Structure 1
Amino acid sequence: MLQEKRDALQEYSNDLIFKLKDLHVNFDKYKYYPRDEKFNSAIFDSDKKLIFSTLKSKAVNFEKVAYISNEMIHFIKEPESYYLGSKYVIIEVPDDNVWFIKVKKDIITYSLIAFSFMFMIGYFISKLFLKPMRDALHLLDRFIKDTTHELNTPISAIITNIEMIDKDTLDEKLARKINRIDIGAKTISNIYEDLTFLTLDNKIISQNEELNLTNILKQRVEYFKSLATIKKINFILNLENNIYLNCDAKKISKLIDNLISNAIKYNKIAGSITICLNENNFSIEDTGKGMNKENLSNLFERYSRFDNSVGGFGIGLNIVSLIAKEYNLEIDVKSEIDKGTKIEVKW
């Protein structure tokens, strides 16, 4: 900017020096310091003492030829002769920021053009490189949806028919076989429901109603008793009667199912599961392996698994978290290694 202004300032200074020369020669005739509406000026002697000034800025920096001070541009020139005793001539013009604004606009314009170009190139390249992954995920998603759809009918048929069998009329050996089939079918059913929930992206329309949570907990415990029996796990129920919660029956059942399922899965042989319910919360506590603090921080992340010795896909607690968020339920987890885990759901 200063370089662009230098030519104009040079012209102004030459004009002023010419007028100073004329005044110096004809001092008795004029006796009036030359002024110009296009610029302000000042003259200083060889000791840098002020002779006369129309400058707005009081301080002058003699170390520079051109500089900006107090929003004014200054230009210093030394005349070829000491006209009126002047060794230095200073020209002052306003800094109108025209050139700075122009440069700023150019920077913004070219930056936007460059960013747009790079964004388009980046978008094209990312689509190109991510296409195989996107196709694979699409195929996997279709496979899960098709699989879960095909599993529904046989699972429902197995569970329904097992429930219709009167186990008391069977001999002990056959009853144990039927019981194992029942456990396997319920395990697959629970996985099926989890996958269905995820493939629908939690977009199932909630049919909220006042539900008796006491009865639901009893029903879910009864459902999982056959699974718990395999590991000789005992249920301890401390449930207050007629505790109601406004929510969707399927979703709250799914939340409870996943908590009980995990309590059975990670429990020790001949352990226990304590389920408590009162007016503002319910808790499910097991006597299993427990978890460290690092695992607790990632507990509700999808596909997180902390023990590969047991089955599962690491999606159960993620579903619990999604349902809890929908109904503003607070989940508190406490766990100790080799002592067990307690999960409390509050509202």
Structure 2
Amino acid sequence: MIEKSKNFILKISIFYTGIFFIFIAIPTYFYTNLELENYKNTQNRLLIEHAQIIQRAIYDFSNSKSDTFIFPKSFKFEATLLTKDKKVIYQTRNLNVNSNLKMSIEVELSNNRLNSKYLQLSKKISFDEVYFKILILSLGIGLFIFISIYFVIKASVEPYKKANEYLDAFFNDAMHELKTPLGIIQLNLEILENKQKKAKELERSINATKNLFLVYEDIEYLIKQKRVQYNKEDIDFTNILKQRLDQFESLASPKSIKFNVNIEENINLIINRTHILRIIDNTLSNAIKYSFKETIITINLIKKENHIIFSVHNYSNPIKNKKNIFMRYEKENHIKGGFGIGLNIIKNICQENNINIFLDSTEKDGTTFKYIFFK
């Protein structure tokens, strides 16, 4: 639970950080262009400053009596002196400037002893520094936003997390306290049934207790499913289904519902006992609950070459929304009661055990839940 909570907070933090980056994408684009323009202006200014140094050196040489001109060189620049006719008088070679990405300027010189009219300067430029700066800035802001969102969400979730822990503890204690009195009630009702003649009030009490046990077992499973390891075992599917049908017959009798049973003998299955009981109980319970009075529920358990088919068919109003019916708390008929968790439990169990579910429900043919168990 703790690990899942951390993963949830992490995913939400990443999601909102991503949204933040989407919102700042346009400002970042304009900021990047501004930084690139500033970089170009800086490089152009360096070219002008170096051109001024060379101009000063030519001017000083022209006003001196020296016969040797020492050209100011730099590894960052490539300089060329040209005549009025654009013939090269002197040129410096800088391997670093031999690049497709470079800036150049041309300066017109005043009369001088070198007879040069133009000065051309080139400098290699690279935007890597700008892009790296933007990247570091974006990562820094993104990390700050991510950490801020993470701790804000964590602080927001913490009270709910503690409340959930208290609620889980309460349900665990409540379920533990309920099981014993429910068992005593059921046992005493069955003793009374054997001692006295059949009475409708007694039969209703027994059926109500059985329904309570079904609800109890569903809630108990929901509480334990994330904490308990449900190990698989070799189950006598035939025997378990027959036992459960004996239990459900009394629940079907108030509505004069009969069972049409077709169960093959000696069908075994590798599955957890709790899982198969939840599938059987919830399917039969729903079939009885939603069936019309004085109808027949057909239960089939047959064995094929590489799979086993368990199906329950009943006559009831058709299920309209077949996709949502397996969602938790989703119910077709709210008048019938229940919590809407049974089919969701079945769906989760089937997904865990690679069991295929098929649901067919029409007004004419009734409703069929079919489960295919692969060997």
Same topology, TM > 0.5: yes
Task: Report the equivalent of 2:184.
Answer: 157
1:323 aligns with 2:349: yes
2:289 counterpart (248, 255, 265): 265
Check the 8 A contact 1:41/1:92 in 2, yes or no: no
TM-score, normalised to structure 1, is 0.77
Identity of aligned residues (%): 28
| Shift of residue 78, structure 1, vs aligned partner | 3.4
Check the 8 A contact 1:228/1:264 in 2, yes or no: yes
1:235 aligns with 2:259: yes
Task: Report the equivalent of 1:291.
Answer: 319
Check the 8 A contact 1:275/1:284 in 2, yes or no: yes
| Shift of residue 69, structure 1, vs aligned partner | 11
2:137 counterpart (86, 92, 106): 106
Task: Report the equivalent of 1:95.
Answer: 126
Check the 8 A contact 1:41/1:89 in 2, yes or no: yes
Q: Deviations over 1:235-281 (max 9, x none)?
A: 12222221110122233112210111111112122222221112222
The residue type paired with residue 124 of structure 2 is V
1:196 aligns with 2:224: no
Q: Deviations over 1:187-208 (max 9, x none)?
A: 0011111111112234334353
| Shift of residue 35, structure 1, vs aligned partner | 7.0
Check the 8 A contact 1:284/1:344 in 2, yes or no: yes
Q: Deviations over 1:61-97 (max 9, x none)?
A: xxxxxxx9965230324325487454x7342224273
Distance 1:13 1:210, change over 3 A: same
Q: Deviations over 1:97-124 (max 9, x none)?
A: 3344244323423442344344434543
> In the aligned structure 2, how far is the partner of 1:2 from the partner of 1:170?
103
- Give unmatched runs, 5+ long, in structure 2: 1-38
Q: Give the alignment of 1:24-173 within 5 angstroms.
A: 37-41=75-79, 72-79=101-108, 81=110, 84-86=116-118, 89-95=120-126, 97-124=128-155, 126-127=156-157, 131=159, 133-134=160-161, 137-164=164-191, 167=194, 170-171=196-197
Task: Report the equivalent of 1:11.
Answer: 49
- Give unmatched runs, 5+ long, in structure 1: 57-67
Task: Report the equivalent of 1:61.
Answer: none
The residue type paired with residue 78 of structure 2 is N
Secondary structure (helix, strand or coil) at the match of 2:266 reads: coil
Check the 8 A contact 1:330/1:345 in 2, yes or no: yes
Secondary structure (helix, strand or coil) at the match of 1:296 reads: coil
| Shift of residue 184, structure 1, vs aligned partner | 0.7
The residue type paired with residue 278 of structure 2 is K
* CA RMSD between the two structures: 3.7
> In the aligned structure 2, how far is the partner of 1:91 from the partner of 1:191?
85
Check the 8 A contact 1:20/1:34 in 2, yes or no: no
TM-score, normalised to structure 2, is 0.72
> In the aligned structure 2, how far is the partner of 1:259 from the partner of 1:275?
10
Check the 8 A contact 1:334/1:343 in 2, yes or no: yes
Normalized per residue, the structure richer in helix is: 2
Secondary structure (helix, strand or coil) at the match of 2:334 reads: coil
Task: Report the equivalent of 2:27.
Answer: none
> In the aligned structure 1, how far is the partner of 2:180 from the partner of 2:252?
25
Count of residues paired in the alignment:
323
Task: Report the equivalent of 1:60.
Answer: none
Secondary structure (helix, strand or coil) at the match of 2:357 reads: strand
Task: Report the equivalent of 1:335.
Answer: 361
The residue type paired with residue 318 of structure 2 is G
Check the 8 A contact 1:234/1:270 in 2, yes or no: yes
Task: Report the equivalent of 1:344.
Answer: 370
Q: Deviations over 1:152-191 (max 9, x none)?
A: 1122123233444565x744xx432221111011000111
